[in-house]
Chains A and B, each alone.
Chain A
Amino acid sequence: MSTNSVYIVDGSRSPFLKARGRPGPFQASDLAVQAANPLLMRQPFAPEELDEVIVGCVGPSADEVNIARVISLRLGCGDKVPAWTVQRNCASGMQAIDSAFSNILLGKSDMVLAGGTEAMSHSPVLYNHHMVNWLADMNSAKSPMQKIKTVTKLRPKFFAPVIGLLKGLTDPVVGLSMGQTAENLAHKFKITREEMDQFAVESHMRLVQAQENGIFENELEFVFDDKGKAYDKDDGVRPDSSIEKLAKLRPVFDKKHGNITAGNSAQITDGAAWIILASEQAVKKHKLNVMGRLIASNWAALDPRYMGLGPVHSTVPMLREHNLTANDIEFWELNEAFAAQVLACMAAWKDNEYCQEHLGLDKAFGEVPHENLNVDGGAISMGHPVGASGTRIVHHLLNVLQRNKSKLGVATICIGGGQGGAMLVENLQ
């Protein structure tokens, strides 16, 4: 394998726009296009010079099949730039980066636009099977008599819609909702409702602070709808969030008796994020000013019922391979699917028993302090557009490292279905 470095040149993202019960103003490709336009415009090369475009997206709209190609063409990358879509559930945006990483390492590509996008507010509402069967009967009914007969078979339950989003957030193998897997973690690591809510409030406060300090100016682009409105802020944040307020919310997954509420879970959100990756050769050729280097990536899998611990399983082997310990990593981005899930990861990393049993270590991996983790908030306050989050945390991590003049960071994410992904980056600014 080539030992060439893979550089992260630049990145951008759309504001993360909370889904508000109806389709938002943008489709997934719209958000991706608008977030990428300024990114590409400020590069010294033309979009046609990219070698490929890779996009992570869990649920593109029906008219966005191979959404990467749709986006690439809409961005003016031209007919000749190949584009493909990757799907690894909540880590699709990280998978896009990893695919670019691999192709650059293999020497197949020199410059790749990689990212993720999701318009969760546009996720489909479907007919149920009864209805689909009935429609098929209706279609094949020839005579008026047959038609009338078929009409009489229509039942109210046929009209019950299937909410695509809920299906997507339920594990299709073990049958647990994502929230229920987080309940499992809370149970396993004895995480209380108060701890979760405290974490959620902190996420909001950190994001508020970051917004006030203009932290996102380097990574966030305006998007504009067709009706004359401009969006430039992650709008799910609640500056007035408090333990008291969160305590009033009812558990939504294990109704009545559980601890996971909408308030201590990631928000359902629309958003897109991008980075440009380049080989050493491309950096030289186009005289690119790089942000950092992508050193390593790793994927791991585990019991789907404990999917939230994916970050633990994916980070540890990666860091060990590079002879790094928890202390060597200065900043962490761990996607906040659920407060309980992040807290469980932090607990597992420093849990001797867990690390021995599941990761084959002699003792605990180490402590990942909350001060160095998700320093500007996370998916609980900002939202989790499933396709985009994986890209966002890698890009944002580099911004955090840059701001703190630090060197090494890890971005990691848990994946519905029982996986975890991790990336190790180095700040070069």
Chain B
Amino acid sequence: MQEYQHWKIEEHPTGIVWLGMDVDGASANVVSTAVLSELNQILVHYSKNLPEGIAITSLKDKGFVAGADVKEFTKITNHQEALELVQYGQSVFNQLDNIPCPTIAVINGFCMGGGLEMALSCDYRIALEDPKTRLSLPEVRLGIHPGYGGTVRILRYMNPLIAMDMMLTGRSINTSYAKKVGLIDEAVPQRLLNNVAEKMLLSKPKKRQAPRISKLLNNRLVRPLVAIQMRKQVAKKAKPEHYPAPYAIIEHWQKNYGDEAEFLHGEAESVAQLSTNKTTKNLVRVFLLQDELKSLASENVDKVNHVHIIGAGVMGGDIATWCVSQGLLVTLQDLNAESLARAKSRAHQYFKKRLKKRLLIKSAMDRFILDINGDGISKADVVIEAIFENKDVKRNLYASIEPKLKEDALIATNTSSIEIEQLCDAISDPTRLVGLHFFNPVTKMPLIEIVQGEQTNQVISQRAINFAKQIGKLPLPTKSSPGFLVNRILTPYMVEAGLLYDTGTSIAAIDQAAKKFGMPMGPVELADTVGLDIGLHVGELLSQAYNYNLPNSFKTLVEADNLGRKTGQGFYTWKNGKKVKPKSKSSAENIDYIQNRLMLRFLNEAVACLREKVVEDKDHLDAGIIFGTGFAPFLGGPLNYIESNGARALYETLESLHNQYGKRFEPDPEWQSLINNS
């Protein structure tokens, strides 16, 4: 028997061959060309020496398959190369599909993208019943769609509405749902997994079939009607000019469904088409930036078990909830029992929605310990302060808790606006304090700014980075200058929105302009969502530090206690947490002009941060802004946007605004080097 680099083969006396995927040098399996080519050889061999059955599983501790190898994808330069890559994958999986013995995918952990496409090419699929086993086809998030036959084969087993929804959103599903909708045959616990696999291969039960309704939905005459509905759904979330992939999936299904060979060919063409698209390049870059931030963490470090959080406001409470959801024990401290009770109720809501099963919810809630006396301080590995933004109160707090801390406990502040240097000398070892700046809503925003003061010990910030990675967030090392990175860049943009409003621009037009650019939420709505009091507070600090004016509207609203969503009234009126659409004014407003005013302040501040090295480099800056603000991922980040749209043109627009409005639009000196480099 030949040895393979990425596959371990076991031939059982039952006549069943187990193909164990164990990609060399990787912690999780990825379907690279090398892996495919070995699978090809293996399949050629067994086509000639047909076994009773073939079971494919993963030998990794972590999951089944994480997907295709994205790095290979970045090397593609043209349509032809893309087509060849995709068609090669298709040919291997076709071979798996067509081998005359029964085949089964034994999905023992997460199963994404190319991994699921491989599983779909088997006759049967069973999965390990475990919360970590989630299945998805997330290619759309990289601007493409499944290309190894996934779009074709999934429809053999599933209702097209559900299958398309999975591909259009890239969302992952759990095993019980996967079984219900036909994606897998069985979900069983570890103790049964291999037995069930062998039993199925030997008894060859009937393959699952898509429910009867699918025939109708896939019908040639019905498809166009269904497709219209799907496009409508997609349009709510993504514009075709920003995100072509979901539209391409719908188009592909509508046009190519039918003969499988044709359908597969159409799939390859469509993916190849998408893969050279600018959006795709940017989305892939964003994906790789995540990996880069994750890779800042050290390997094999002691895990944090217990986090103590002081301050049970929305941020503190949500940080606690998030840490619990990542398996940690959390003590949440606040003097106010009602704040603690509210935090607990929010956590319970979150776990109910996320975990669904009663015992899982209970176990999470048991790790969410409300600690009115602060006894957790002396036991925690990490202590995070998340109280209100007041320098003196924070300093007093640090001084009072320092003697109680475990010797090696990490002490961090979630301050969003106070520099670490102004806080750290309240403790006897100022090198010990580091900023862990989470973003609201914590359970959704992937970024944490690791704020390093001048004095912060490198070992300490490295531990903060490791902690961020452990709790599944992206760590971004950031200099401790006012506003750090994200708020510093967001604030002038939101201030400009306020100034536009002060001079008569409608809030609808302002938000529309930002969204047209590709921001996920307009600045006015964002201000209302964050809370205008908080926005004003940060605005005041930053406007002093960077010397610009605040709009009157912010102050007026805060004075009237109209703080945005939380009070039901801000710039918008809010009902049950949803904004009431303002009555539309005349549409004569110049959206492009508004967009320029908003986005150029944003970009100009980003350029200033680059010059000041607030973060390490361009990549880190783009990553921070994308993951910290939701800045249009398809644009690949502000600096990437400047680069690809031409620094000079943007500079000139900025200069003209500078002439018109004065200092706040003064181009940063760094623009010159951007122009020179382009």
- A residues near B (Cβ < 8 Å) are 33, 37-38, 41-42, 46, 74-76, 222, 224-230, 232
Contact = CB atoms under 8 A, between A and B. Distances in A.
Contacts of B369: 37, 41
A38 B337 contact: no
A33 B366 contact: yes
A226 B348 contact: yes
A38 B369 CA distance: 8
24 contacts: A33-B366, A37-B371, A38-B375, A41-B369, A41-B371, A41-B375, A42-B373, A46-B379, A74-B363, A75-B366, A76-B329, A76-B366, A76-B367, A222-B337, A222-B370, A224-B340, A224-B341, A225-B341, A226-B348, A226-B365, A227-B345, A228-B344, A228-B345, A230-B341
B344 A41 contact: no
B379 A229 contact: no
Contacts of A230: 337-338, 340-341
B159 interface: no
Contacts of A226: 344-345, 348, 365
B74 to A, nearest CB: 45
Interface in B491-511: none
Contacts of B341: 224-225, 228-230
Nearest to A75: B366
Contacts of B366: 33, 74-76
Interface SS of chain A: helix, strand, loop or mixed? loop
Interface-central residue, B329, B331, B341, B346, by most chain A CB under 10 Å = B341
A98 B445 CA distance: 52
The 6 closest A-B pairs by CB, nearest first: A228-B345, A41-B375, A42-B375, A230-B337, A230-B341, A226-B348
Nearest to B367: A76
Given A228-B344, A230-B341, 17 more contacts: A33-B366, A37-B369, A38-B373, A38-B375, A41-B331, A41-B369, A75-B366, A222-B340, A224-B341, A224-B370, A225-B341, A226-B348, A228-B341, A228-B346, A229-B341, A230-B337, A232-B337
A278 B331 CA distance: 26
A222 B333 CA distance: 12
Contact of A41 (B338, B340, B363, B376): B376
B173 interface: no
B193 interface: no
A47 to B, nearest CB: 10
A190 B75 CA distance: 98
Contacts, number: 50
Nearest to B336: A230
A115 B363 CA distance: 22
Interface-central residue, B329, B367, B375, by most chain A CB under 10 Å = B375
A216 to B, nearest CB: 14
Contacts of B371: 37-38, 41
Contacts of B363: 74
Contacts of B375: 38, 41-42
A41 B379 contact: yes
A362 to B, nearest CB: 52
Nearest to A43: B375
Nearest to B341: A230
A401 B346 CA distance: 41
Interface-central residue, A33, A37, A226, by most chain B CB under 10 Å = A226
A41 B372 CA distance: 11
Interface string B550-564: 000000000000000
Contacts of A38: 371-373, 375
A28 B363 CA distance: 16
Nearest to B361: A226
Nearest to B342: A228
Contacts of A224: 337, 340-341, 344, 370
B449 to A, nearest CB: 30
B318 to A, nearest CB: 15
A38 B333 CA distance: 11
A228 B347 CA distance: 10
A414 to B, nearest CB: 35
A72 B337 CA distance: 25
A222 B372 CA distance: 8
Contacts of A33: 366
Contacts of B344: 224, 226, 228
Interface in B305-355: 329, 331, 337-338, 340-342, 344-346, 348
A77 B465 CA distance: 30
Nearest to B359: A63
A301 to B, nearest CB: 39
Interface in B350-394: 362-363, 365-367, 369-373, 375-376, 379
Nearest to A74: B366
Contacts of A227: 345, 348
A228 B336 CA distance: 13
Nearest to A39: B375
Nearest to B331: A41
Interface-central residue, A46, A228, A229, by most chain B CB under 10 Å = A228
Contacts of A46: 379
Contacts of A75: 366
A225 B340 CA distance: 11
Nearest to B348: A226
B462 to A, nearest CB: 27
Contacts of A229: 341
A230 B371 CA distance: 12
A69 B338 CA distance: 31
B308 to A, nearest CB: 10
A44 to B, nearest CB: 8
A42 B308 CA distance: 13
A226 B365 CA distance: 9
Contacts of B367: 76
Nearest to B346: A228
Contacts of B362: 74
Contacts of B346: 228
